[in-house]
Structure 1
């Protein structure tokens, strides 16, 4: 019957802006009939997963008829060893996205406010609106989180503050000094969530992880993921580190068996492969330096990055540039969805992928 959804669905549903993912390779193949396609849109590791993770996936195939461990015991054990804390400090999710949802379901009520930088990861707004919370985006300053402005935006209704560090889509970080000023005197009933999905790529000596504040007794959650440098985006697995009390509360709203067996096994194996992690960092460092040089030679402005992507100003309509690159089989991300209509975001790839991106970009800009 006409109007059923409008009459019966929760009103919060109509305020949601669906997440727009990077265009899949298969979709471009279907739409344009292209075969040789390079995806540089979603900040995936161009080297793929660790060889150990791939071996673990193969070895677990015979056990697919068995439910996974709902508690992710062995993964938590490995993480506890890595970070030197107890297993009950970890929450494991079907990607960091699910953890954002679980945290919001646990803590956000309709009268609560959630503060974050703008632009940043769109899921902060999405999850808040689902629960009927109020969003308070604070504009970036020089493409970086303006922590003092965010602190000034705090009211008695503020429940959560997100600090995406490094920030997506700009790749910038806030420093130790900035974080110290921000955290000093902040109401202890405000939950600060440090989203550190790109943490492993950071080489700025001024960077400080949110883990330090957890060690000092603050109410914080630090989110990490296996989707980026670990190359397991297709398996959807991420984790959060917090106090045992906060983790226990979030676990109350978690579905049983939320993390599949294959993802758990692959994640444990990936944590054991330091060689792959080191190689991934080095490939990213070399690719970043190459792209910086080439973009400077072209005369394009870009935001120096601490992640595995670069946010750059093409000087043209980003949709036009995106489409031009797409026709050459190179998938990037448009900046208009972040409020920057002439920018694109490009993932740092292998030498071959970076070279192809630059040559394709030159052709598009020459028009």
Structure 2
């Protein structure tokens, strides 16, 4: 059969092999999920929603759209929903990227930016991070007349670092108005700092800014797959032209709406992560392991040994996490912040690894 040649250069997206091959119970700290689960209000809403599951969902998530627009105080026509941020990234590339177009991506970063760019024929212009963080000056310097899109992730995945509000505003002011800037804020709810940017507020000022948020992380709805973009009305209209109708299932729409009503659950989720990070910092400092202070719900730790081997040691202890080798940090691991018991299981293995280091 004939197929598009670009597919020969692409790899399919696979979850961690340990999750695919698991034959027993494991603590999954590899995918940055919410260890608290989801709000009790979501469970109640889903139970009631099952009665209408035989009906097609709203193509444009109409009820959720109105509610979320009030939540953010924006025009509902600026919202575009997708089956998680993955789908929205693909929609954006389908709209803005054609053969030979340049797309600027701070690297390493979330892998789907690269894949969806190449799938649409774009050329990736990789801009190295600086001290594990996005170098906005270098990103700006990489812009050429062929640039059609810029991907930014803030807080950054996989490093957990954050670009501060002032720096981001200064950058946006310098980007040509005809180049879309995608600001992926999947982890923003976890970013507790006085200078954390609010992409949705910035999108009111910059028409070329497309801001992404998700219900998968802090709201705990990863299994239902729902995220959204905030863009100009014109950009939103373009994204709707390439969107599958309907693309977000009925239960996901109901669950997201209920999740918005439970600010207490959101606050508990954020507190659990911030307190967990503080415990990780203390453990790493006591054991002499370097780490990257995180504004997300995960942490990069330098174990000063092969990250793949270290991940296997954790797997032997029933814990799945990520090796840093896949993001260019071969002696590091990335771990999702879990609940107190899960974190203590990780700390026990960290002590074991520390004891194995040469004197």
Q: TM-score, normalised by structure 2?
A: 0.96
Cα RMSD (Å) of the superposition?
1.3
Matching of residue 205 in structure 1 with residue 194 in structure 2: yes
Give the match for residue 109 of structure 1. 98
Shift of 1:96: 0.5
1:176 aligned residue (165, 172, 183): 165
Give the match for residue 343 of structure 2. 354
Give CA-to-partner distance per residue, 1:341-362, whole Å, 9 cap, x none: 1111000111111011110232
**Separation in 1 of the partners of 2:110 and 2:131?**
17
State the secondary structure of the residue aligned to 2:211.
strand
Give the match for residue 293 of structure 1. 282
Moved segments of 4+, more than 6 Å:
none
Shift of 1:317: 0.3
Give the match for residue 304 of structure 2. 315
Q: How many residues align?
A: 356
Judge conservation of contact 1:72–1:92 (CA < 8 Å) in 2.
Answer: yes
**Separation in 2 of the partners of 1:266 and 1:179?**
32
Judge conservation of contact 2:18–2:315 (CA < 8 Å) in 1.
Answer: no
State the secondary structure of the residue aligned to 1:262.
helix
Give the match for residue 12 of structure 1. 6
**Separation in 1 of the partners of 2:235 and 2:198?**
19
Shift of 1:180: 2.7
Judge conservation of contact 1:70–1:257 (CA < 8 Å) in 2.
Answer: yes
Judge conservation of contact 2:133–2:161 (CA < 8 Å) in 1.
Answer: yes
Q: TM-score, normalised by structure 1?
A: 0.94
Shift of 1:185: 2.7
Shift of 1:186: 1.5
**Separation in 1 of the partners of 2:133 and 2:234?**
32
State the secondary structure of the residue aligned to 1:346.
strand
Shift of 1:9: 1.6
Shift of 1:28: 4.9
Judge conservation of contact 1:287–1:354 (CA < 8 Å) in 2.
Answer: yes
Give the match for residue 195 of structure 1. 184
Give the match for residue 29 of structure 1. 22
Give CA-to-partner distance per residue, 1:12-47, whole Å, 9 cap, x none: 11121332424565x4532xxx33x21111100000
Give the match for residue 340 of structure 1. 329
**Separation in 1 of the partners of 2:185 and 2:16?**
20
Judge conservation of contact 1:224–1:240 (CA < 8 Å) in 2.
Answer: yes
> More displaced, 175-184 or 344-353?
175-184
**Separation in 2 of the partners of 1:322 and 1:353?**
16
Give the match for residue 64 of structure 2. 75
**Separation in 1 of the partners of 2:126 and 2:319?**
32
**Separation in 2 of the partners of 1:365 and 1:127?**
40
**Separation in 1 of the partners of 2:346 and 2:21?**
16
**Separation in 1 of the partners of 2:17 and 2:347?**
19
Give the match for residue 244 of structure 1. 233
Shift of 1:244: 0.8
State the secondary structure of the residue aligned to 2:212.
strand
